[in-house]
Structures are given as structure tokens and as C-alpha cells.
Amino acid sequence: MTNVPKSSAYFEYSVVCYSKVAKTKILGLKINGAFTDLSSTGSPLRCFIAIELPETVKIALSNLQEELKKTEADVKWVRPGGMHLTLKFLGYVEEENIKKIVNTMDRICREYPFLNLEAKGVGVFPNVRSPRVLWVSVEGNNILAGLQTAIENGMASLGFEKEDRPFTAHLTLGRVRSFRGCGKLIEIMQLHQKASFGFIEVKSISLIKSDLRPTGAQYTRLAELILGQGGGNV
């Protein structure tokens, strides 16, 4: 067990722990001291599994949002700092199940190499006549689809419900609240159908906690699992 300066981190089984919850729930460690990043309340944690984005891509997506905002369309925009590529939404998870999730993620990650993806092109769900979600596509190879399927199946083995809809790799820009200004919005988006917003070198996947607040969701990484070698950061 090795201490990492300035991180309150501990290594065990190739996992680095940053929080009291992670130390006690994932590694089963009893740690003394005060930790303010995550406090155990006994309440379920709202969690999802995702690929985190490099700052270059976040900046490019923020610039796109600023251009789209000029249409004054009625859209609730996603904060660029909170953007990520969701692989599996888990919903509310009891703290005692976090260790099982991390172990399953670790097993899956050992079987997959690093990925090279590109944020390229834009689209809407469900269609341009009735847009509800604005997004940027994520292009890559079949390895991403295989990784997502493995995660879906792995979480299903733990009792999480499988997603019926096919996986579409995308980054959400915003959610349409009304059709005000949608015509101009779609017109501007169509200008970016083939635009590239940067490359994403994927070396890990993360288990993330989402706290819903009036100012928007606040995200906390609970675990980071490295592709190709197992283990990771918690």
C-alpha cells in the first residue's frame, strides 16, 4: 500500500482510492481522518459509466454551443465541463454494490486496448422535424461497440436492466425545451454535419456519480479503470 502525495490516495490491487467512500466500500479499508470529497450518507448513488473527454474536445464543443446559442432557440445546454460519452446509465446504486461494479468494469477493461475516436458531425434525436436532443457524433471502430456491449452485459449480470435501444455513440450538447427558434437552430447545425471537433484517445473508462442540483448536475468520478491492463484509479 503506497501513499501518493497530495492525493489522499492508496494503492491496492492496482486501484487508487481518492475518497472515504471508495476506501471503505470498494477496498474494505478502515481509514481515519476527514474527507470532504465524498461522504457516506447511506443513500443510493446516482451513477453511470462513461468515457471522459479531453479539454480540446470540450472547448470545441463549447464553441459550437456558443454559435448555436445565437439562434436564441429554447435549449437547456449541457455545461462543456460536464460532457462525457456515456456507455451505461446505471441509475441509483446502493453503496455496497459499488465494489461489484468496479470489479466487473476492471475485468472487462483488461480485455480491451486503448481506443482512438473522433467527435465528428452533428445530429438530433428523434428527428429534425421534432428535435429533442442535440448531439455530436463519436466515430471510431468496432472496438467501441464491443466495449459498450461488454459493459451492458456485465452490468446485466449484476442485475441492472439492459437498454433496449441500440447504442449510438454521441455527446449531448443540449435538450430542446420548446420549438421556439428550432428552424434556425437546425439550419446552423446542418452546416456542421461533417465538421470535426477533435480526437479522443481513450485509455480508461470511469464510474461517475451524478448529483442533481438546481444549477445542474455535478459529477464526481468514483473509479477510473485503465484499458488493456486492468486496475485503475478510484
pLDDT digits (tens, 9 = 90+) for 146-183: 999 999 999 999 999 999 999 999 999 999 999 999 99
Beta-carbon contacts of residue 141 (< 8 Å; ≥ 6 apart): 115
Number of structural domains in the chain: 1
Structural element, H or E, at residue 105: helix 98-109
Closest C-alpha among 99, 105, 113, 117 to residue 153: 105
- 2 or 210, greater pLDDT: 210
Closest C-alpha among 197, 221, 201 to residue 211: 221
Q: Which residue reads 448531439 in cell numbers?
A: 135
Of the residues 20, 58, 84, 120, only one is catalytic, namely 84
Residue pLDDT, tens place only, 76-121: 999 999 999 999 999 999 999 999 999 999 999 999 999 999 999 9
Global model pTM greater than 0.85: no
Of the residues 155, 170, 206, 208, only one is catalytic, namely 170
| Cell (9 digits) for 1 | 500500500
Q: How high is the pLDDT of residue 36? A: 26
What does the mean pLDDT of the chain come to? 84
Confidence of residue 61 (pLDDT cuts 50, 70, 90): very high
Would residue 170 show up in a list of annotated catalytic residues for this protein?
Answer: yes
Q: How high is the pLDDT of residue 232? A: 53
13 φ/ψ angles, rounded to the nearest 5 degrees:
55, 40
Would residue 192 show up in a list of annotated catalytic residues for this protein?
Answer: no
Omega within 30 of 0 (cis) for the link into 166: no
pLDDT for residue 14 is more than 80: no
- 141 or 71, greater pLDDT: 71
Residue pLDDT, tens place only, 19-33: 544 544 444 432 222
State the residue range of the domain holding 77. 3-233
Q: How far apart are CA 202 and CA 52, in angstroms?
A: 8
